[in-house]
Every structure is written in structure tokens, then in C-alpha cells.
Structure 1
Amino acid sequence: MPAPSALDRTLAALADPTRRGVVDRLRRRPHPAGELAAAFGMSPPAMSRHLRVLRQTGLVEEHADADDARVRVYSLRPEPFSALRGWLDEVESCWAEPLDGFKAHAERTRGTKPPRGRKS
């Protein structure tokens, strides 16, 4: 079996609802680790494990707080999300093209046939 790709690791990391919640919070602005732990009602070590997964997959990055170097602040990295969006766009195109064709056909033939159950 081939090694997991970056996309595989991204999807695996985002499979956890807590990690998706962290990403959602970080979407608005960077947060210190302690603030994230409190927001999710979990211990700092438990949140640290989630943040480690997100960091190892490249979804987030950590920085030292400007006022206190002991405090770790987390923010999102755009690259993995761009790759995920690209893959989702490819998947979506599988059904978007046939639907566009059906729409064009329906618009071309609108009103050319009598409704079912009625004879003209």
C-alpha cells in the first residue's frame, strides 16, 4: 500500500470533530493553546494532542506570543486547505458537467412536449 499523501493526512486530521472545531475557531483569528483548551472544555494536555496532529499535518502553525514567549499561539496555514479545495473541485466536476448538460437539454426542450397524462 502506498504511503499516505498529504491529502490523506489532511482528511484524517479533519475527521475528528474537535480538530474541525479548532480549525473553525482559528479561521476567525489565531488563538493561544490555553484559550482553545478552555473553549472546548478540555485539559491543556488533551488539546495539545489535537494541536500536535494539526501541526504535524501542516494545517496549523505555532508562534510564541509577543508578550509571553511561554504562550503558544496557533494559526491556520492556507496551503493544505488550497490542496483540499483543489481535490474537492475535481470531485465536484464529476457531477457538475453532467448536470450542466442536463440543464442545457431541459432548457432547449422546455415546452416542446405535453405534460404526462395529457395528449395534445
Structure 2
Amino acid sequence: MRVRRETMRRPILRLGFGGSVLLALVIGWWYFLPTPLFTVPYSTVILDKEGEIMGMTVASDGQYRVSGRGRLSMKYMAALLCFEDKRFLTHSGVDPLAIGRALWLNVRSGSVVSGG
């Protein structure tokens, strides 16, 4: 049984056309992204002569955010973990107890009052 060459080429042409369209969409999406991509305000950090954090202000959007240069003091990290998520070091990124608590509070109040 002979297979026509034309029928064999159609899937290859479709794949090539689909790949070209996908590539054009990705290039177009990348081209229209704003430059710079993120304009995030940072907090002002006051350091002592040893480089330890003495104080920090809130960024203009109401968040504490540092640039990531250097290291944070252990006291600051302990305070952050205590305030944000006491069980952060014992779960793998999702705290089932916090999800359950948030679900219970939200159902009980009839609106979103807590997140997990």
C-alpha cells in the first residue's frame, strides 16, 4: 500500500504552522511587557556599624520590603516568623491548620475575614 507524500506532509505543516504562531505570540507578549517589569517600592533600612538592622520603615504601599542585599539579622527573622506564621518551619508551604481555621471563620461569618 502506497501512502501519498501529500498526506504525510500535512501533519508536519500543521505542526510547523502551530509552532510559528506560538512563537509569534510569545515574542509579541514579551515585546509589549513594560520596561522595567516591576517598579516595587522598598523599605528604608537603618543598619548599625556591624550591619545589624536597627530600624526599618514601611514602603509606600504599606509593606515591609528589602532589596535582598546582605543578610537579615536573626532577631528580625524570629520576629517576622512569630508575627507572620508561627508554624512556618514545620510545614511545607501550606499550613493545613491555618487553612482549616480560615475556612471555619469565613463560613461562620458569611464573608472572607481570614486567609490561610
TM bucket (normalised to shorter chain) is under 0.3
Q: TM-score, normalised by structure 1?
A: 0.25
Larger Rg: 2
Give 1 or 2: higher helix fraction.
Answer: 1
